[in-house]
Structure 1
Amino acid sequence: MSQSAFIPPHMKGLLANRYQLKQLIGRGGMGEVFLAHDVLLGGTPVAVKFLTQTFCSAKMQQDFAREAMLSAALSQKSLHIVRAYDYGVSAEGKPFYVMEYLNGKSLKDLIPIPLPQFLTLTRQICLGLQCAHQGVNIDGKVYPLVHRDIKPVNILVIPDPILGQLIKILDFGIAKFINYANTLSTSRGFNGTLPYCSPEQLEGSEIDSRSDIYSLGVMMFEMLTGAKPWQPETDLFGAWYKAHNFEAPRAIATVNPQLKLPPQLNSLIMACLEKKPSDRPQNMAEILQVLGNLEQSSCQSLPKPLAATDNSPFSGGTELSPILKTTFTQLTWPQNKPIQEIVFPHDLDTPQGTLAALWLMLPEQEIQKRVLCQRYNQFIFITSPHPMMLWVTLLYNREFGPKWLPCYLDMQNPHNQTLVYSLAEYGRYPLICFTLEPPHNCINVLSSHIANTQRQRLKLWVEKSKTLPKSDQSVLSKNLLKQQYKQMQSRMLHHLTEKPQFVAVSST
């Protein structure tokens, strides 16, 4: 029997009365990852990671719960961090956590990477790390998170219908917990991956976000050259300790003479590899600034955002793939839709598949007002007398007020069922903005993210809709939803005005 199909006998039952393990899909120094089905959500695929440690004290269990909670909260903030859903302890005492199941490739398998792709992927990695370093707010206290194990195998690259390629960072907070567990059980105060560890991490010292910046520097070097900045004689701790603390990194031009690297990028990578944290870039914003400058000057052929604003089609600065940018700019207003202020859901065919989108027509001035705005979405579903869903998107600008975009979907319609399932699968959707004035062009694309809890409900609603008896009372259900819509508006506005610090937020 192959390793990928083997499930140990003691893991045959339901984990936490919810997850049915199917097969082993990954194994590393920190643990094993299994594909599983969430039976409470109709068999939705998830990934379950079991850590190598077992709990030997209540304190370890508390610390694991804390790190898992912080990681889950962080995963709700950034598109570029793998979503964490659940955590717990198996009957054998092994800690585990549950995350979204993603079908992609490890960054390691793509190395070396051409310069345009390198800049696109590195920018996404930096956005995810920046979000973590800024921290998550729990009960009024901000907890910054340092990854501690940035390396290519902890970066997943997945096909994406909007970005072309989407970065997901794995294992946030796990290295810290395993380091703590090792310290308790073996008196060994270091855990990480030697070729990527900062000098201060090898020393066992307290580390901050600048340690991740060092690891990022090692990884950027490798992404471009296919090699690491050092070639120690052995892979033992002592050899890597010497390299990181006392040896200068090799020059990129020496490792790959054919690579024509912009001087700014070369300087950035070497700055990230400085031995002293104080000599490196001090935060991800500095790195993102350099990458942004490169995209605008040295690499004019790289994809630009569709709209020339800081609010690119996805919050956090993530940009459209060049193929999809062309797709959006070439869209035309459907002939069967009136020329008036209107919003409606509509499929969008992309190279990666069909995507659910909102198409809207507004005066050009109104669209420009919403370029920088908070975005929030909510969904309501009723089964009786007719299965019907209300999908509300709110664009809110404090100066110009709210712009409401409600859509009513007959969930007895198979096409709408497919569209809603697409929403749940991708977890976000584009808002494609056409001008009311001729020639009615698409001039901007915004986006809205859907919270994990809402995504799970959407899938359940689709399955429920398929089992309900046929009905011809859609008008009555729509009127019932319109009454709830009025109540929903005040709650959504209250949510946004209570949280003015976010540029784009999604439903809770």
Structure 2
Amino acid sequence: MNKSPFASPSSTGLVANRYQLKQLIGSGGMGEVFLANDILLGGTPVAIKFLTQTVVDGKMQQDFAREALMSAALSQKSVHIVRAYDYGVNEKGKPYYVMEYLSGKSLKDLIPVSLPMFLTLSRQICLGLQCAHQGINIDGKICPLVHRDIKPANILVIPDPILGQLVKILDFGIARFLNYASTASTSRGFNGTLPYCSPEQLDGEKLDGRSDIYSLGVMMFEMLTGKKPWEPETDYFGAWYKAHHFEQPKAIADVKPTLKLPQKLNHLIMSCLAKKASDRPQNIAQILQVLNSLEQSSCPTLPTTLASRSILSRPIDSRLPITLEETCRQLSWPENKPIQEIVFPQLIDTIQKSVPALWLMLPKEEIKNYAFSTRYNQFIFITSPHPMLLWVTVLYNRGLTPKWLPCYLDMQNLANRQMASLLAENEHYPLIFFTLEAPNSCANVLSSRIEPTGRQMLKTWLQQSQNLPPASQPHLSKQLLKQQYKQIQSRILQHLESKPQVVLSGSI
């Protein structure tokens, strides 16, 4: 691999006086990706993508800034689109994106995949594309985004405790900018990856979401078979132009005879590969409808990827030890806490030991509504710039608004470390409900189970927090955790809404 000019010894490796470049972690047709540390946020790791195109004039820089802003705004709307935090142009005129750093595998390296995995990944890819095609609001105007370069190399698959695998679509906005830049500097306005380009994209026509649907069809074919729908004699533009415009795609059954594919799915993929945009599914919602029906029929319970991770736990009638429940019911609302709808963690002292618990105050009717709820918990920990743990509990009843109970624990605080230690030791923790109405007495006690993997992670994080040097920026870590909390809420709901009413737990 040639040494990158961005990491040359003569350079400080510092971008925008904020991002310290560490190492090259990827390269491709669109540019190079570096691992970097965000100095402003205490060394938080980020990924920076430098684009191949050089910004040669003010108009191009404005165009890049607009695409970057739209991409960043889009990433706030969907967990399936990689988050873009910042952008700029370096001293050499190279534009760059600053993105979340994710540890996962490219879909390109996972192909071919099993049918259950295909359904899981395809559905998430579609959810990300649907969000983009629906558009974002820029100055009061809805602006749809077309990716223009959907291919396996632009799909990242990362481990996820809720979905098993979480899909992230990369490079939104970049393809459009490069298309503009190439038009400005050459006579040909094409930019994309030839095997996945729609006929209208090869013709340089104005594109809409149906072009992405064509690219998605090529990718879905490849995900199942390991092959592309066409095999032209060369990889030159002319050969692929002929294939996409005039040659019919191969039949999946011919490419992989051993694959038992539902006819409905076969028809869906082939319709995505139609030469005319008007003959394809007209929007992602139509594709999702088919994928959802297939997932329900082939996976009536949990997907294999979830079941193997033991996300489901005990049924809803699991209870705390009677003595502990009785102790909880005799408690009074602390005098130093306000009479309002709040939640906070506090230890309960029993004869045998101290027990971590969540105390919460709600109106009586709301307490009744959640008496038979699914309970789900999740833990997120960050070490930098300040060690902090987010402990989330969700009360879920179908048809009711979920009750989210987040608690932030500063892990340099001795009492909070004790709380985390006891959470790691106990399989269950109680949720103690007090009425907002007088006399503010205990109205119910429920339990939430922590999976063994979650307890082990808590032990690991506890050890890490004890070995870290002193820090003094808890507010920055809390803000970072709040961002992650917003991201995972949609994933948790997506999971809970598709499953039977059971007590669930998990950890990140």
Asked if the contact 1:32/1:51 (under 8 Å) is kept, the reply is yes
Counterparts of 2:419 and 2:277, CA distance in 1: 49
Query: Quick check: 1:113–1:224 contact (8 Å CA) kept in 2?
Result: yes
Larger RCO: 1 or 2 (CA < 8 Å, sep 6+): 2
The whole-number CA distance in structure 2 between the counterparts of 1:343 and 1:167 is 32
Residue of structure 2 equivalent to 1:86: 86
In 2: Cα distance, 1:162 partner to 1:360 partner: 25
Name the counterpart of 1:312: none
Q: Give the CA deviation at 1:163.
A: 1.6
Residue identity (%): 66
Does the residue aligned with 1:321 lie in a helix, a strand or coil?
helix
The alignment status of 1:365 with 2:369, answered yes or no, reads yes
Indicate the residue corresponding to 1:261 in structure 2. 261
For residue 288 of structure 2, what is the amino acid of its counterpart? L
Q: 1:358, CA displacement in angstroms?
A: 8.4
Question: What is the aligned partner in structure 2 of residue 276 from structure 1?
Answer: 276
Shift of residue 6, structure 1, vs aligned partner? 8.6
Structure-2 separation of matches of 1:76 and 1:358: 30
CA deviation map 1:8-49 (0-9, x unaligned): 235433110001111111111111111111111111111000
User: Per-residue displacement from partner, 1:40-92 (whole Å, max 9, x unpaired)?
Assistant: 11111110000011111100000000000000000011111101010001011
Give the equivalent residue in structure 2 for 1:101: 101
Mapping of 1:53-452 within 5 angstroms?
A: 53-297=53-297, 299-300=298-299, 303=302, 321-324=306-309, 326-329=311-314, 363=367, 365-366=369-370, 405=405, 407=407, 409=409, 411-413=411-413, 416=416
CA change 1:326–1:463 in 2 (3 A) is: closer
Whichever residue aligns with residue 239 of structure 1, its letter is: A
Aligned residues: 404
Look up the match of 2:32: 32
Q: How big is each residue's C-alpha offset from its partner over 1:335-376, in whole Å with a ceiling of 9 and x where there is no partner?
A: 567666995669xxxxxxxxxx989898563378999xxxxx
Quote the Cα distance in structure 2 between the aligned partners of 1:256 and 1:75.
Answer: 36
Mind listing any 5+ residue stretches in structure 1 that lack a counterpart? 305-318, 347-356, 372-382, 421-430, 444-460, 470-502
Q: TM-score, normalised by structure 1?
A: 0.69
Gap change, CA 1:11 and 1:271, over 3 Å in 2: farther
Task: Between 337-346 and 320-329, report the one with greater CA deviation.
Answer: 337-346
* Structure 1 counterpart of 2:308, one-letter code: I
Q: Distance in 2 between matches of 1:268 and 1:360?
A: 49
Q: Is contact 1:11-1:21 (8 Å) kept? A: no
d(CA) in 2 for partners of 1:101 and 1:60? 27
Please say if residues 102 and 158 of structure 1, whose CA atoms lie closer than 8 Å, have aligned partners that are also in contact.
Answer: yes
- Matches of 2:99 and 2:418 in 1, distance apart? 24
Q: AA paired with 1:72? A: A
CA apart distance, 1:295: 1.4
The worse-fitting range, judged by mean Cα deviation, of 360-369 and 66-75 is 360-369
Provide the C-alpha distance between the structure 1 equivalents of 2:166 and 2:264, rounded to a whole number of angstroms: 25
Aligned residue identity for 1:303? L
Closer, same or farther: CA 392–233 of 1 in aligned 2, 3 Å = closer
Q: In the aligned structure 2, how far is the partner of 1:80 from the partner of 1:65?
A: 22
RMSD: 4.4
What amino acid is the match of 1:365?
N
> How many angstroms does 1:251 deviate by?
0.2
Closer, same or farther: CA 20–253 of 1 in aligned 2, 3 Å:
same
Could you report, residue by residue, the CA deviation over 1:250-289 in whole angstroms, capped at 9, with x for unpaired residues? 0000000000000010000001000111111111111111
The one-letter amino acid of 2:130's match is Q
Aligned residue number for residue 19 of structure 1: 19
* Aligned partner of residue 34 in structure 1, secondary structure: strand
Task: Name the CA shift for 1:204/1:326 in 2 (closer, same or farther; >3 Å).
Answer: same
**Separation of aligned partners in 1, 2:109 and 2:389:** 42
Larger radius of gyration: 2
After TM superposition, the score normalised by the length of structure 2 is: 0.69
Q: Is the 8 A contact 1:4 1:23 kept in 2?
A: no
